[in-house]
Structure formats: C-alpha cells, structure tokens
C-alpha cells in the first residue's frame, strides 16, 4: 500500500472515496466517541430520571439495529435495567396489542421523514396522549424536531448531521436506548477508543479485494441466537454501505460455519462490553476501507429510495402488477436447490410480524443445511429494506429474492392522519420492493403464509 489508509481515514481525508463522494458531510462517526464524553454526565442523570420500566423505540435501520444490539447485550449479560422493545416493522400483528401501561416512547429518525417511524408514532400517540411519555432523537431542523417541540415531548435529542444512520451507533441514536437498557457507556466507549484500527482497515481492504476477485460473500458467524442482532447490525453496515453500482459485499449472517461456496470469513465474538465496543467501531473502519477497495462511496445509499417511491405510488392508487413466480412454502427448498448456480444468493424477505423472527431464522438455517452451495440470507421486512435493501437493488445482479407475504394482516389497524392502515402499508411495501428489485434485474418470487 503506497499510503497508510488507516491514518488517512482517521484523519478524515474525504478524498479517499473519490470526488463525488458524500464523505465531506458524512465522516462525523470517526470522532463520535470524543464528542460523546462531553454529554455523558447529562445523559446519565437524564436516564436516571426516566420512571418507566419499558422503553419502546420506534425507528428503522440505523435507528433500530444499534438499540437492538445494546438491549440484547444487556439481556445476555444479565445487566438489563429496563425492557427495550424496538418496533421496526409495519406488520400490526406484532405490536397493535403491546402493553404500554408503563412505557416511554423514543421516536428515532435522523431525517424525521421515514414513513414507518412516522406511522408508528401516530399509532402510539393515539394510544398514549401524554406527550411527556415521548422522546425524540433526530437531526436539527427535521420535521420530527418541529413536531416534538410543538407537542411538548419530554426531551428532544439533537443528533450530528454529519453522521449517517448506519454509522450512528455511538451517537444518541444508539447511546440513549443503550444507557436506558443498562449498557456501561463509559466502558463501551473507552474500549472502542482502543480499537486496533490498522487491523480493521486491513480487514476491510481484504473484504473489498476478495469481492473484486469474485468472492463477494462475507460469512458472519455469530455463534448463538442471542447475538443475532450483532449479525444484523454488521450485515447492515456492510450491505448498505457497499452494495451499489452493481458491486458490493454480500453479508451472510449465521450461527455456525456452513456452506461450501467461497466466502470471506468474519467471526463475531462480542462476549463482553470491550469486544462489543471494538467490534462496533472496528466494523465502521472496515466498511470505510472496503468502500475504498471496491471503488464505491460507502456513505451514500442511492437505491434505498427506489422502493419507497414505488410504495408511495402504490399507496396513492397507481396500479402496478408485479408478475412474480408463485411459490408454496414446501417448494422453497427445491426452488433454491434447482437454481443454486455458482455465484447466486437467495434472500427470504418476510413481511411478517416481529414475533416471526425466530421461525424465519430457523427456516433459513434448515435451508442452508440442505443447500450448501449457495448463500441464503433472511430478513424481516420492512426492517431489512433499510439494511440489505440497498444491496438488493444496487449490488451484484445475482439475487433471488423470495418474498414471504401474508394475504391477511389481521384486523384493520388504521394510522391516524395518514389515510391508510398498516395492512395496506405493508402490502404496498412488499409490492414496492418487488417492483424495484425486478426493475434492477433481480429475480423475485413470492409465497403467501
């Protein structure tokens, strides 16, 4: 290497990713740890003033996966001090009956315009009229900030504008739910500060180089179900950052070693807060370095909006008729096995309630056991539209997307002031993503559960 990439990244050299990169306004993550030290005391005393035992986080993508990682960590280390319920779904069957008697809500959205977060806020605001039970985390000047101020939320956290969603775990987006869950923020951040940056930058360069030479798959081994959220967080930062311009890393999170296809390998430990802090910071560095090796801009997400736009048009009444191959559940294994040519990967995209997650990943594991020759990934939708959605539309044209949709999303749950209901919204999201993926040359099939 003619120059030291780690040093250049850490010094915030925004020319690394080319002249058109959005990096000049996206490198705030590099110094979030130092910034956070400044408001730690305030954050700690504020968190102690929260009386509720349940915190409901309404957010998508970067605003949901960081909180999931922190809460799962506190659960598996028996250090959780509150229950954190992250709702990053529009399937009403997963949250319509949630007990919110003793709950405070965090509406978390950098842009303050994400449809899922807004719909969820409107729904829960309809069930909890006290604005003091609501907290907002958002960029200054966002529509969410204006609304939260007007309605009198108990607190509005202002987030740094130069940090993108998937790089925001050490900003208020991760740390506010994290401290409420019981994470030792001081330990987490001081460990992150000691990350061996050279090691992770080298990892990123290797992942990029492997993809350049025809091995885009990255096996992410996370060893037990209670670490799944770390697998998902890692999947998001790699997929959404690198999956563009027909290139990219294709992360394949799973519990234990599998498959005979060629991959890069990543083992996620995160058994203690030190390893967790270093993994979270290190993977941001690795992602920035992988972007450099791949010759793409790791800080933009040019194709995420494509599905959102088609969804918006479907909801507005425009007729789209995606022609999708229909599958039955018991045909999926042979469907994949018949098509598992070298180089392809398969994604189960489940428009199912939050409670379906264990079943979905167990299903994926069974398929992966039966078919070793192709990577198989899974994600709950619409959550994954904000993590692997960019890769599915902008990355290599080797995806076979299998949508798992429901014909009936249960009793109608209307969204106040949005002129639609959750069942209609989630169906429109499935159609929007199917059409967007097809338009980008990916194969899409669908089954109904």
Ligand X SMILES: O=P(O)(O)OC[C@H]1O[C@H](O)[C@H](O)[C@@H](O)[C@@H]1O
Q: Binding residues for ligand X, per CB under 6 A?
A: 60-63, 109-111, 114, 117, 164-166, 240, 301, 304, 386
Q: How far apart are CA 311 and CA 318, in angstroms?
A: 10
Whole-number minimum distance, CB 287 to ligand X, in Å?
12
Nearest to 263 by CA among 379, 380, 342, 366: 342
All residues at 6 or more sequence positions from 420 whose CB lies less than 8 Å from its CB, including other chains: 315, 414
Q: Which is nearer to ligand X, 117 or 195 (CB)?
A: 117
Which contiguous run of DSSP H or E holds residue 292? Answer: helix 273-294
Whether 356 and 383 have beta carbons less than 8 Å apart is answered as: no
Which contiguous run of DSSP H or E holds residue 155? Answer: strand 155-158
Q: How far apart are CA 278 and CA 271, in angstroms?
A: 11
Q: How far apart are CA 412 and CA 433, in angstroms?
A: 22
Whole-number minimum distance, CB 59 to ligand X, in Å?
6
| Phi, psi (rounded to 5 degrees) for 216 | -80, -15
Q: Which is nearer to ligand X, 273 or 430 (CB)?
A: 430
Whole-number minimum distance, CB 57 to ligand X, in Å?
12
Q: Which is nearer to ligand X, 62 or 259 (CB)?
A: 62
Q: Which is nearer to ligand X, 80 or 87 (CB)?
A: 87
Whole-number minimum distance, CB 318 to ligand X, in Å?
22
Whole-number minimum distance, CB 260 to ligand X, in Å?
33
Whole-number minimum distance, CB 240 to ligand X, in Å?
6
Nearest to 73 by CA among 271, 284, 280: 271
Q: Which is nearer to ligand X, 306 or 371 (CB)?
A: 306
Which contiguous run of DSSP H or E holds residue 378? Answer: strand 376-380
CA dihedral sign, ordered 248, 61, 68, 195: positive
Nearest to 36 by CA among 193, 271, 144: 193
Sequence-ordered strand ranges (E) for 200-275? 217-221, 250-254, 264-267
For the chain, what's the residue count? 449
Whether 108 and 63 have beta carbons less than 8 Å apart is answered as: yes
Q: Which is nearer to ligand X, 219 or 241 (CB)?
A: 241
Cα 14 vs. chain centroid, distance in angstroms?
24
Q: How far apart are CA 218 and CA 396, in angstroms?
A: 14
Q: Which is nearer to ligand X, 77 or 161 (CB)?
A: 161
Q: Which is nearer to ligand X, 304 or 368 (CB)?
A: 304
Whole-number minimum distance, CB 88 to ligand X, in Å?
9
Q: How far apart are CA 189 and CA 211, in angstroms?
A: 31
Q: How far apart are CA 103 and CA 42, in angstroms?
A: 22
Based on C-alpha coordinates, what's the Rg of the chain? 21
Q: Which is nearer to ligand X, 266 or 304 (CB)?
A: 304
According to DSSP, the residues that pair with 58 across neighbouring strands are 87, 107
Q: Which is nearer to ligand X, 154 or 161 (CB)?
A: 161
Whole-number minimum distance, CB 51 to ligand X, in Å?
27
- For the beta sheet containing 217-221, the strands, ordered from the edge strand earlier in sequence to the opposite edge, are 250-254, 217-221, 264-267
Q: Which is nearer to ligand X, 61 or 277 (CB)?
A: 61
Instruction: Give me 347's structure tokens.
Output: 């994604």
């Amino acid at each position: 290497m003619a120059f030291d990439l780690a040093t250049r990244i850490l010094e915030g050299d925004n020319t690394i990713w080319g002249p058109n990169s959005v990096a000049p306004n996206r490198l705030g993550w590099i110094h979030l740890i130092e910034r956070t030290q400044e408001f730690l005391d305030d954050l700690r005393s504020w968190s102690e003033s929260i009386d509720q035992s349940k915190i409901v986080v309404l957010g998508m993508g970067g605003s949901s996966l960081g909180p999931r990682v922190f809460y799962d960590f506190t659960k598996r280390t028996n250090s959780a001090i509150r229950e954190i319920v992250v709702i990053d779904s529009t399937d009403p069957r997963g949250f319509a009956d949630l007990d919110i008697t003793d709950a405070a809500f965090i509406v978390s959205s950098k842009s303050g315009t994400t449809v899922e977060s807004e719909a969820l806020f409107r729904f829960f605001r309809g069930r909890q009229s006290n604005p003091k039970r609501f907290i907002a985390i958002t960029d200054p000047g966002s529509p969410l900030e204006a609304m939260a101020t007007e309605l009198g939320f108990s607190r509005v956290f202002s987030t740094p504008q130069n940090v993108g969603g998937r790089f925001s775990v050490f900003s208020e987006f991760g740390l506010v739910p994290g401290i409420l869950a019981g994470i030792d923020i001081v330990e987490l951040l001081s460990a992150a500060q000691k990350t061996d940056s050279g090691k992770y930058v080298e990892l990123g360069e290797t992942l990029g180089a492997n993809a350049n030479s025809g091995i885009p798959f990255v096996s992410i081994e996370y060893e037990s179900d209670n670490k799944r959220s770390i697998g998902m967080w890692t999947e998001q930062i790699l997929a959404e950052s690198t999956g563009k311009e027909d290139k990219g890393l294709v992360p394949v999170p799973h519990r234990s070693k599998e498959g005979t296809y060629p991959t890069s390998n990543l083992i996620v430990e995160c058994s203690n807060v030190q390893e967790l802090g270093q993994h979270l910071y290190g993977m941001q560095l690795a992602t920035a370095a992988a972007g450099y090796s791949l010759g793409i801009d790791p800080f933009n997400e040019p194709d995420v909006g494509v599905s959102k736009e088609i969804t918006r048009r479907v909801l507005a009444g425009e007729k789209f008729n995606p022609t999708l191959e229909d599958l039955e559940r018991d045909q999926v294994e042979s469907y994949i096995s018949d098509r598992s040519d070298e180089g392809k990967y398969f994604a189960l995209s489940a428009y199912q309630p939050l409670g379906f997650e264990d079943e979905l990943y167990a299903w994926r594991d069974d398929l992966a056991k039966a078919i070793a020759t192709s990577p198989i990934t899974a994600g709950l939708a619409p959550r994954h539209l904000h993590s692997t959605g960019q890769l599915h539309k902008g990355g290599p044209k080797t995806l076979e997307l299998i949508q798992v949709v429901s014909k009936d999303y249960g009793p109608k749950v209307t969204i106040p002031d949005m002129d639609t209901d959750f069942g209609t919204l989630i169906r429109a999201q499935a159609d929007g993503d199917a059409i967007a993926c097809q338009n980008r040359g990916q194969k899409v099939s669908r089954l109904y559960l």
